[in-house]
Structure 1
Amino acid sequence: MAARGRPRTFDPDTALRQALTVFWERGYEGTSLNDLAHAMGIASASIYACFGTKEDLFRKVMALYGATSGEPPRRALREQPTARAAIHAMLRATADEITRSDAPHYCMLILAAPTGAEENHPVREFLADLRRGMHVLIRDRLARGVTDGDLTAAPATLDAVARYYTTVVQGLSIQARDGADRTELETVITCAMAAWEALTRPPDQTRTR
């Protein structure tokens, strides 16, 4: 019988959560393999063997982030009964997540790798694709509102409205990173939702009479 390799002495799920904490605190470029090895309690060789390269590990970390901290805003979009309620709940869930006392105050999709060395361009594009995915989710929820009859916006305007609220989501993260607290973010959300009627009003109702 062939000899078996040495069994792992660490839990990959726990190690991945520890890697998430490091990437979240320091960003992609600010995190070294030594940082990861120290936080995860395993050797760099074990990181490569279990998770692949630093970029491979980061992509796995972002999948975990999406399933945990990134899930409440998406769940709000899915579960609220009307498009307006869904957008409002999504913004509030975003603000809740980025002002938690037990995590850094920003969204990893937006600020984990905003700029950096040319060799990290694939990571930035990976994050950009995830952000574009959020825009699509918002647009699809607006389109569902049209189908359900609770939103009367012209289909041609849905992409613009979705892009507006996607921009608000991203702005909330930057504001939180720069020190805005949950109450201050709520004032931004209130202003954003005050624009709802003007943004979604059918074109024939926007003309001056």
Structure 2
Amino acid sequence: MASTPTRGRPRAFDRDIALDQAIRLFWRKGYEATSVRDLSDELGIGQPSLYNAFGGKRALFDEAVGVYDSEYGGFIVAALTEEPTAREAIRRILSEAPGRYTRRGLPRGCLVAYGDAGTDDPEVRAALTKMREGNTTALRRKCDSDVDAGRLPADTDTAAVAGYVMAILNGLAQRARDGATRRELDGIARVAAEAVPTFT
């Protein structure tokens, strides 16, 4: 007697893969424009399973942003940590940003820069603002250290320098989202780097 074929077992849910899919969806659309249904469809799981695995859209977004920063971002912190002077760190940040914002196979731009666009959720806005301000503060402190060491003029407005660099990065991220080529972004970054105050 022939045996009855059994149905294949459903593919096991891989939480890490699902989280990466969520990161990329939030990266493309932002928090506000991403619905729970979008997430359910993208991850290939039902909404109850989504809540069981991640605790809901807000909790998933918070986790996604944290993993994004460690897996796909982090180049600003790396440059500030590894380069000996603020000028070298700034030049590295500006030279790397165009490539970071136009990576093949990934959404364009930066989740931290624009993930809260259009949302009225104060906690989402506060979380991403804190991350952006953290990068700005770290850059200002790097510049302050160079002022103290005599590598920057004593009257350098370090807050303005840090704010300028971050504004350029936000602009590069937006141009990338608008479809600008890597070459165009590289040109903008080179012009921006030349505007950084001269170091002795």
Give the counterpart letter for 1:131 in structure 2.
R
Q: Determine which of 50, 54, 61 is the counterpart of 1:51.
A: 54
Aligned counterpart, 2:45: 42
Aligned counterpart, 1:70: 73
Give the counterpart letter for 1:89 in structure 2.
R
Instruction: Check if 1:165 corresponds to 2:168.
Output: no
Aligned length: 190
Name the Cα RMSD after superposition.
2.1
4+ residue runs over 4 A deviation = none
Instruction: Check if 1:91 corresponds to 2:77.
Output: no
**Structure 2 residues not aligned, in runs of 5+:** 1-11
8 Å contact 2:76–2:135 — kept in the other structure? no
Whole-angstrom distance in 2 between the partners of 1:127 and 1:176: 19
1:83-110 residue CA offsets vs partner (Å, 9 max, x unmatched): 1111110112221110112112111112
1:130-171 residue CA offsets vs partner (Å, 9 max, x unmatched): 111111121122223335x36223376211111111111111
Whole-angstrom distance in 1 between the partners of 2:140 and 2:66: 22
- Quote the offset at 1:113 in angstroms: 2.2
Q: Calculate percent identity across the aligned residue pairs.
A: 34
Aligned counterpart, 2:9: none
Change (3 A) 1:26 1:140: same
Q: Determine which of 34, 42, 48 is the counterpart of 1:31.
A: 34
Aligned counterpart, 1:151: 151
Matches within 5 A, 1:1-209: 9-116=12-119, 118=120, 120-147=121-148, 149=149, 151-154=151-154, 157-197=157-197
1:62-83 residue CA offsets vs partner (Å, 9 max, x unmatched): 0011002212232122112221
- Quote the offset at 1:122 in angstroms: 2.1
| RCO comparison, higher one (Cα < 8 Å, 6+) | 2
Whole-angstrom distance in 2 between the partners of 1:57 and 1:157: 39
The normalised TM-score by structure 1 is 0.82
Give the counterpart letter for 1:102 in structure 2.
G
The normalised TM-score by structure 2 is 0.85
